[in-house]
Amino acid sequence: MSFSPLIRQLIDALRGLPGVGPKTAQRMALNLLERDREAGRHLAHALESAMEGVGYCRRCRTLSETEICDMCDDPRRDDGLLCVLQSPADVWAVEMAGSFRGRYFVLKGHLSPIDGLGPEEIGIPALLERVEGSAVAEVILATNPTVEGEATAHYIAGLLKPLGIKVSRIAHGVPLGGELEFIDGGTLAHALAGRTAIG
């Protein structure tokens, strides 16, 4: 069986999406071509705009199309409280939970010496810079409740404590071994409220 080149190329490109296998990619391609070309054109445009236009917030390092993101820019949020997470997806998850009104700082994942990911690589010096001389009074470490996330949290706690900053860890209402972005909003809100002092 040979699809024509443009259809083959479309199916292959759709397989670049996470969780999309060959059968699903075929169904997607067919659906767009047969039933909704407008949706296909719209998606092409949205992809192009986002791939070009979305960068990272200079302040919190989450995905943002402005130099300073809306969350960093919002004057109603609490400057004294800084939530540290492993990825923009985790920021989205905490925002969905809806109860947190402080600021964010996004690391590039967790410490993983075996993969060559030390403090520098995941952005810990930038976090210290963000905190020092700022209004931040408490840092909530909301790295994933995995072995690596715990280790990363403890490493950061060890650096922040000497600076006289209160450091807390989200409560283990979040299931051990889980990934923050897949946890429901209620559990996350609960875990944030029940955070405990660390170190």
Chain residues that interact with a copy of itself, rule: CB under 8 A: 1-7, 9-10, 12-14, 16-19, 24, 26-34, 36-37, 39-51, 53-54, 63-66, 69-70, 87-89, 92, 95-96, 98, 181
Residue 18: contacted member of Zn ion, a copy of itself, none (CB under 5 to 8 Å, by partner type): a copy of itself
Of 43 and 197, CB closest to a copy of itself: 43
Residue 14: contacted member of Zn ion, a copy of itself, none (CB under 5 to 8 Å, by partner type): a copy of itself
Of 36 and 132, CB closest to a copy of itself: 36
Q: How far apart are the first and last CA of the chain?
A: 62
Kindly write down the DSSP assignment for every residue of 105-151, as one continuous string.
EE-SS--BGGGTB-HHHHTHHHHHHHHTTSS--EEEE---SSHHHHH
Spatial separation of the C-alpha atoms in residues 95 and 133, rounded to whole Å: 26
How long is the chain? Answer: 199
Q: How far is the CB of 159 from a copy of itself (least distance, A)?
A: 25
Which of 48, 2, 9, 41 lies closest to 25 in space, CA to CA? 9
Q: What is the maximum span of the chain, computed from C-alpha positions, in angstroms?
A: 67
Of 59 and 166, CB closest to Zn ion: 59
Residue 197: contacted member of a copy of itself, Zn ion, none (CB under 5 to 8 Å, by partner type): none
Q: How far is the CB of 170 from a copy of itself (least distance, A)?
A: 18
Contact footprint for Zn ion (CB under 5 A): 57, 59-60, 69, 72
